[in-house]
């Protein structure tokens, strides 16, 4: 199911080589999400006087209805907030491993990983979305909680028109067809939805209504929690009532750095993305990589080599900070970053077999969706949340109407072996009860001269981090507007497998030159490397870009 995002791009008929489009512009406030109805919900909240956090919560609940591919009540994610007064914070509502989880639970008798981390009731981690939104609302929201859920409740109860991309995606989703409840709700009992049909979700509407009226305890201790834990027990799942009651969202301090005069506010672990963005930008700064021009073989090669080195470090050093001391200070030490940069040969590929996780010294103190909100006061919110693969594990909880995640696959089921996205992960991300799996989600905010400059993020599994990096580079180093920056063709290298992925739109001559320099290139037609959403402060107002690889929407006023 992780390849469904390719289907989305082909359905919409857009690709990185599509004709250039103008960014959406607004003077005061803006919302960008990967489903248009959810964008409209957020804009209305802002128009009605809500702040960016209020709008982000309303958008998230709306996406749980209109974007079942990744929007969710049964998953988790991250919310990065940068306030107009310069403060920033990070709300971690990543799923957690149930109390019954164990290190080797997904290995067969011969010690090989099975697909149980992706399929069936045992693949789900304890959901965090509702708790995360409640934490953000309680501390930083300004509107009534129940009012922020009203649009989502109406969309679920009265339904919404199914778009062509959604109709085709629901039809193609094999994991939905394998679960009776999902097949009934999302595939119309096998008759499938046609574009223009109305999709209603009465069970989900009832669940949302209870959460609106009774608050977050409804999901974690009330009727919803009881029904979820009961069916888990009957079906052999792991999540118990105790798991739900004991789940907590965590507020963390964002990682910060700078690049060419821009401030970078990035996601801390258990996201691996913030470390990646700061480390890779550190390797690129003062390298002059951009002098050969966007899309040149020299530029692509240098960026690919930077990616290769970061993903090697990711494989060993990152995990849940609550379960062990992570070497963040060492990984982001300028001297260490310089040593990594000095190993780059600008004229030849460095085989990944020769790039091991680095040896930092010193002491230390996907499927997914992303959306951005900027309000008229200058507060900015970047949210990435997920079910892991498209539609999660494909299981809809009977009577509750929401899909479950398959986030347990984001742990290292067997440290040193690749997961569903080909990522090799180490002991720091081994399964433990209560632990949060390492994530590639990378909500990021940039500032300039002490003011908001850019909010950016993406879905796309392991490719999120490289896509966010390149979008930042497109704006800062290549002077692109928000729309061009998200639409430009991208590359991806994640150390292992030792392969350079290139989207359509990159010159065949450039591809041939990269191959001659030692790269194993995947230049498959229709290849899509994440789907980015971005909002940029252009000085005279806001401009937004919604990735042409998907069917999202940016709007503002």
Encode pLDDT of 191-233 as tens digits. Answer: 999 999 999 999 999 999 999 999 999 999 999 999 999 999 9
CA proximity to 27, closest of 373, 382, 376, 372: 376
Beta strands in 150-289 (DSSP E): 160-161, 198-199, 250-252, 255-259, 262-266
- Name the least confident of 15-29, 96-110, 171-185, 403-417: 15-29
- Do 290 and 362 lie in a common domain? yes
Angstrom distances, CA of residue 549 to CA of 36, 76, 310, 425, 524? 14, 24, 26, 29, 15
| Tokens 């062990």 sit on residue | 324
Give the per-residue SS3 of 392-438.
CCCCECCCCCCECCCHHHHCECCCCCECCCCCECCHHHECCCCCCCC
Helices (H), 247-326: 273-284, 297-317
Question: How many helices and strands (H and E) does the chain possess?
Answer: 19, 19
- Do 111 and 183 lie in a common domain? yes
- Do 59 and 202 lie in a common domain? yes
Encode pLDDT of 146-178 as tens digits. Answer: 999 999 999 999 999 999 999 999 999 999 999
Q: What pLDDT score was predicted for residue 18? A: 44
- Do 452 and 535 lie in a common domain? yes
Q: What pLDDT score was predicted for residue 364? A: 36
Considering the domain boundaries, does residue 94 fall inside one? yes
Considering the domain boundaries, does residue 520 fall inside one? yes
Considering the domain boundaries, does residue 8 fall inside one? no
Q: Is the pLDDT of residue 252 over 60?
A: yes
- Do 178 and 277 lie in a common domain? no
* Overall number of domains in the chain: 2
Euclidean distance between CA atoms 165 and 389, whole angstroms: 17
Q: Is the pLDDT of residue 297 over 80?
A: yes
CATH of the domain at 532: 3.60.20.40
Considering the domain boundaries, does residue 2 fall inside one? no
Q: Is the pLDDT of residue 309 over 70?
A: yes
Range 539-543 average pLDDT: 94
Q: Which of 376, 398, 429 is the last residue of a domain?
A: 429
Of the pLDDT bands very low, low, confident and very high (cuts 50, 70, 90), residue 1 is very low
Element (H, E) at 253: none
Encode pLDDT of 38-50 as tens digits. Answer: 999 999 999 999 9
Catalytic residue among 7, 129, 207, 368: 368
Q: What pLDDT score was predicted for residue 324? A: 83
Range 299-328 average pLDDT: 92
Q: Which of 407, 429, 451 is the last residue of a domain?
A: 429
Q: What pLDDT score was predicted for residue 428? A: 86
Q: What pLDDT score was predicted for residue 356? A: 77
Euclidean distance between CA atoms 171 and 428, whole angstroms: 38
Considering the domain boundaries, does residue 61 fall inside one? yes
Of the pLDDT bands very low, low, confident and very high (cuts 50, 70, 90), residue 367 is confident
- Name the least confident of 423-437, 457-471, 474-488: 423-437
Element (H, E) at 25: strand 24-26
Q: Considering the chain, what is the average pLDDT of its residues?
A: 93
Residue 322 is given by DSSP the state: G
Element (H, E) at 352: none
- Name the least confident of 10-24, 63-77, 283-297, 315-329: 10-24
Of the pLDDT bands very low, low, confident and very high (cuts 50, 70, 90), residue 19 is low
Question: Strand 500-502's sheet: what is its strand order?
Answer: 491-492, 500-502, 521-522
Euclidean distance between CA atoms 354 and 346, whole angstroms: 16
Euclidean distance between CA atoms 118 and 406, whole angstroms: 5
Euclidean distance between CA atoms 138 and 81, whole angstroms: 14
Range 363-392 average pLDDT: 88
- Name the least confident of 59-63, 144-148, 321-325, 438-442: 321-325
Burial 408-420 (b: 16+ CB within 10 A, else e): bbbbbbbbeebbb
Encode pLDDT of 325-361 as tens digits. Answer: 888 999 999 999 999 999 999 999 999 989 877 654 4
Helices (H), 13-51: 36-47
Beta strands in 34-159 (DSSP E): 76-82, 88-93
Range 472-489 average pLDDT: 98
Range of the domain at 417: 17-251+368-429
Q: Is the pLDDT of residue 3 over 50?
A: no
Range 405-428 average pLDDT: 81
- Do 21 and 155 lie in a common domain? yes
Helix axes 508-516, 297-317, angle to 10 degrees: 60
Euclidean distance between CA atoms 140 and 383, whole angstroms: 15
Q: Which of 429, 453, 470 is the last residue of a domain?
A: 429
Euclidean distance between CA atoms 69 and 78, whole angstroms: 17
Euclidean distance between CA atoms 296 and 286, whole angstroms: 18
Euclidean distance between CA atoms 99 and 433, whole angstroms: 5
- Do 193 and 226 lie in a common domain? yes
Q: What pLDDT score was predicted for residue 12? A: 36
Range 269-285 average pLDDT: 97
Element (H, E) at 69: none
- Do 35 and 156 lie in a common domain? yes
Range 485-496 average pLDDT: 97
CA proximity to 376, closest of 66, 54, 117, 9: 54
Q: Two tokens at 445?
A: 């905010």
Q: What pLDDT score was predicted for residue 75? A: 98
Which phi and psi angles does 158 have, rounded to 5°? -90, -15
- Do 509 and 373 lie in a common domain? no
For the CA atoms of 187, 191, 196, 200, the dihedral, rounded to the nearest 10 degrees, stands at -50
Q: What pLDDT score was predicted for residue 5? A: 35
Of the pLDDT bands very low, low, confident and very high (cuts 50, 70, 90), residue 13 is very low
- Do 304 and 316 lie in a common domain? yes
Q: What pLDDT score was predicted for residue 423? A: 67
pTM of the predicted model as reported, rounded to 2 decimal places: 0.93
Range 383-403 average pLDDT: 97
Encode pLDDT of 224-247 as tens digits. Answer: 999 999 999 999 999 999 999 999
- Do 234 and 348 lie in a common domain? no
Encode pLDDT of 124-154 as tens digits. Answer: 999 999 999 999 999 999 999 999 999 999 9
- Do 306 and 380 lie in a common domain? no
Range 253-261 average pLDDT: 98
Element (H, E) at 391: none
Q: What pLDDT score was predicted for residue 358? A: 64
Q: Is the pLDDT of residue 288 over 70?
A: yes
- Name the least confident of 90-94, 412-416, 500-504, 505-509: 412-416
- Dmax over CA atoms of the chain, in Å, equals 63
| Cβ 74 vs Cβ 230: under 8 Å | no
Encode pLDDT of 502-532 as tens digits. Answer: 999 999 999 999 999 999 999 999 999 999 9
Give yes or no: 368 in active site.
Answer: yes
Residue 126 is given by DSSP the state: B
Contacts 24+ apart (CB under 8 A), 293-300: 294/474, 294/478, 294/488, 295/489, 295/506, 295/507, 295/510, 296/510, 297/510, 297/513, 297/514, 297/517, 298/346, 300/491, 300/500, 300/502, 300/506, 300/510, 300/514
Considering the domain boundaries, does residue 72 fall inside one? yes
Considering the domain boundaries, does residue 410 fall inside one? yes
Euclidean distance between CA atoms 158 and 236, whole angstroms: 34
Which phi and psi angles does 533 have, rounded to 5°? -120, 135
Length of the chain: 557
Q: Is the pLDDT of residue 16 over 70?
A: no
Q: What pLDDT score was predicted for residue 542? A: 98
Q: Two tokens at 271?
A: 């996201």
High-pLDDT (> 90) share of the chain, %: 88
Considering the domain boundaries, does residue 302 fall inside one? yes
3-state secondary structure of 14: coil
């Amino acid at each position: 199911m992780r390849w469904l995002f390719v289907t989305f791009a082909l359905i919409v008929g857009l690709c990185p080589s599509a004709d250039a489009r103008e960014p959406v512009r607004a003077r005061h406030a803006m919302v960008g999400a990967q489903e248009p109805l959810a964008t409209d919900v957020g804009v209305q909240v802002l128009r009605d006087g809500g702040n960016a956090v209020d709008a982000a919560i309303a958008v998230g609940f709306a996406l749980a209805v209109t974007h079942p591919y990744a929007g969710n009540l049964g998953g988790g994610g991250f919310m990065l907030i940068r306030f107009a007064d310069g403060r920033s914070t990070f709300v971690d509502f990543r799923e957690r491993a149930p109390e019954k989880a164990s290190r080797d639970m997904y290995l067969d008798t011969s010690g090989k990983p099975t697909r149980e981390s992706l399929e069936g009731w045992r693949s789900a981690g304890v959901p965090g979305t509702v708790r995360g939104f409640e934490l953000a609302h309680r501390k930083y929201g300004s509107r009534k909680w129940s009012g922020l859920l009203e649009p989502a409740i109406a969309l679920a109860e009265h339904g919404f028109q199914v778009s062509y991309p959604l109709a085709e995606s629901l039809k193609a989703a094999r994991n939905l067809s394998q679960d009776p409840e999902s097949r009934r709700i999302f595939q119309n009992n096998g008759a499938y939805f046609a574009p223009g049909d109305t999709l209603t979700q009465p069970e989900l509407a009832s669940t949302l209504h209870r959460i609106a009226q009774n608050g977050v305890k409804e999901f974690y201790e009330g009727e919803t929690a009881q029904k979820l834990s009961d069916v888990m027990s009957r079906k052999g799942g792991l999540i118990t009532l105790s798991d739900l009651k004991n789940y907590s969202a965590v507020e963390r301090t964002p990682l910060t750095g700078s690049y060419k005069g821009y401030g970078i506010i990035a996601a801390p672990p258990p996201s691996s993305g913030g470390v990646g963005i700061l480390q890779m930008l550190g390797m690129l700064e003062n390298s002059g990589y951009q002098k050969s021009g966007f899309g040149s073989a020299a530029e692509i090669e240098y960026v690919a080599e930077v990616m290769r080195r970061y993903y090697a470090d990711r494989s060993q050093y990152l995990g849940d900070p609550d379960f062990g001391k992570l070497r963040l200070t060492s990984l982001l030490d300028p001297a260490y970053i310089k040593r990594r940069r000095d190993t780059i040969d600008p004229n030849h590929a460095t085989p990944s077999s020769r790039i091991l996780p680095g040896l930092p010294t010193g002491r230390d103190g996907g499927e997914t969706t992303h959306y951005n909100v900027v309000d008229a006061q200058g507060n900015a919110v970047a949210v990435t949340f997920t079910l892991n693969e498209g539609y999660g594990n494909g299981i809809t909880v009977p009577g509750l109407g929401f899909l479950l995640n398959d986030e347990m696959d984001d742990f290292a089921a067997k440290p040193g072996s690749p997961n569903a996205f080909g990522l090799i992960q180490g002991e720091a991300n081994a399964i433990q009860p209560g632990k949060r799996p390492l994530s590639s989600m990378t909500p990021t905010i940039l500032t300039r001269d002490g003011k908001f400059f850019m909010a950016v993020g993406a879905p796309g599994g392991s490719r999120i981090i490289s896509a966010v990096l390149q979008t930042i580079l497109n704006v800062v180093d290549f002077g692109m507007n928000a729309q061009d920056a998200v639409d430009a063709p991208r590359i991806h290298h994640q150390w292992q497998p030792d392969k350079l992925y290139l989207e359509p739109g990159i010159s065949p001559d450039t591809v041939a030159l990269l191959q001659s320099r030692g790269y194993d290139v995947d230049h498959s037609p229709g290849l899509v490397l994440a789907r980015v959403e971005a909002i940029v402060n252009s000085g005279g107002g806001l401009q937004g870009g919604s990735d042409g690889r998907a069917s999202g929407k940016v709007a503002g006023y």
